[in-house]
Chains A and B, each alone.
Chain A
Amino acid sequence: MNKVISLFFLFIFYGQQPTEEKFIARQGRVSFFSYTSVENIKAENNQVLSIIDLSTHDIAVSMLMNAFVFEKALMREHFNESYIESDIYPKATFEGKISDFDPSQEGEQTRMVRGTFSMHGVSKELEIKTKIENIEGTYIVSGTFEAFVKDYSIKIPPLLAGNIAKTISVDFRFEYRPYES
């Protein structure tokens, strides 16, 4: 009888496990905004890579800094050459874990993601409130966080200090599909 009960629970448990554990977003979007009274700067990267593991709730993000698109060519040049130094630090990464994430829950859930964000050679611990949507087995993760320019050793020349906000607003949105390795 005990064997039958064990087999029943084993069946129920594995039956609920998703067949694909890893999901990938190859064209995730990360955009940032800098608002000052002098000028507003907006940039967008639409080729951000992210992988989530539904079994461990791990999330990893990687982006090319030179793939940010700006409204003006000179803004992009300043960003890559003077501030981010994308030839020396070509990528920004995030590695973290989604707290209390239930991949089997259909619809929307708001969860905290804790992890390490690395950019311009500096790593910072972040805690980000994220919206996770499960629509028929595909996942959309989105949210916003604020980054302090001084935290990432980004040097702004005094002459341009008024043009760039001290706090940058960062938006992200990833649409995941099952990962076929």
Chain B
Amino acid sequence: MILTAFLGSIFLLWRMYDSEDVNILYAEPELHLNAETLISHFEKENDYYLEPEKIVEIEGTIKEINSINNRITILLEGGANESACVICDMQTDQTIGIENLRPKDTIRLKGVFKGFLKDAIFLNCIISQRKTNE
């Protein structure tokens, strides 16, 4: 009995240590935001508008798609301040459909908000819904 409990604890600890990050695909977003609204709040130095680590669904116009550092990244336009944008680092399994996306398409992404430098940064992003302007 004691041995079973001990081995069970070891297994649970190992599973916990070995676990990978949460898969955003199955996570419920805590907030739904527009990229331009988000950037405008940070431009007004409203740093507490969005707390880091929140899972957010964000909609915006694609500014650029790149593969810098061998990672697929989608940049969303920031609105009035053209130099600031939303940087979405895509989850590694998000390869299907990306090749059909173009700048100026509207897209809805889901990811984990990490904070704001010059741009708002999201990691583990997935395509939540795609709407093209065609």
List chain A positions with a Cβ less than 8 A from chain B. Answer: 24, 26-27, 29, 46-47, 49, 62-64, 66-67, 69, 72-74, 76, 87, 90-91, 173, 175, 179-181
The docked-state distance in angstroms from the alpha carbon of A72 to that of B118 is 28
Judged by a CB distance under 8 angstroms, whether B21 is at the interface is: yes
Give bound CA distance, A63 to B121, whole Å: 11
In the complex, what's the smallest C-beta–C-beta distance from A161 to chain B, in angstroms? Answer: 17
Interface positions of B (Cβ within 8 A of A): 16-22, 52-53, 66, 68-69, 71, 73, 75, 82-83, 85, 87, 89, 114-115, 117-119, 121, 123
Give me 13 other A-B pairs in contact (C-beta within 8 A), A29-B69, A91-B117 excluded: A26-B118, A46-B89, A47-B117, A47-B121, A49-B118, A62-B117, A64-B115, A66-B115, A69-B21, A73-B20, A73-B22, A74-B17, A173-B69
For the complex formed, measure the closest distance between the CB of A73 and the CB atoms of chain B, giving whole angstroms.
Answer: 5
Q: Quick one: which of B21, B71, B85, B117 contacts A46, CB cutoff 8 A? A: B71
Interface pair A46/B17, CB less than 8 Å apart: no
Question: When the two chains form their complex, are residues B19 and A73 in contact, meaning their CB atoms are under 8 A apart?
Answer: yes
* CB-based contact B115/A72 at 8 Å: no
What is the bound-complex CA distance between A90 and B114, given in angstroms?
10
Chain B minimum-CB-distance residue to A181: B83
**Which residue of A29, A47, A72 has the most chain B CB atoms within 10 A of its CB atom?**
A47
How many cross-chain pairs have Cβ atoms below 8 Å apart between A and B?
66
Give Cα A74–Cα B87 distance, bound, in whole angstroms: 25
- Residues A27 and B83 in contact, CB atoms below 8 Å apart: no
Chain B residues lying within 8 Å of A63, measured Cβ to Cβ, are 117
Q: Smallest CB-CB separation from B20: which chain A residue?
A: A73
| Cβ distance A91 to chain B, nearest Cβ, rounded Å | 8
Interchain CB contact under 8 A, A74 and B89: no
Q: List 13 A-B contacts (CB under 8 A).
A: A26-B119, A27-B87, A47-B89, A47-B123, A49-B117, A49-B118, A63-B117, A64-B52, A64-B121, A73-B21, A74-B17, A74-B19, A181-B83
User: Quick one: closest B residue to A90, CB to CB?
Assistant: B115
Chain A residues within 8 Å of B73, by CB: 27, 46
Is the Cβ of B68 less than 8 Å from the Cβ of A64? no
- Given A47-B89, A72-B17, A90-B52: A180 and B83 interface contact (C-beta under 8 Å): yes
Assess whether B16 is in contact with A74, with CB atoms less than 8 Å apart: yes
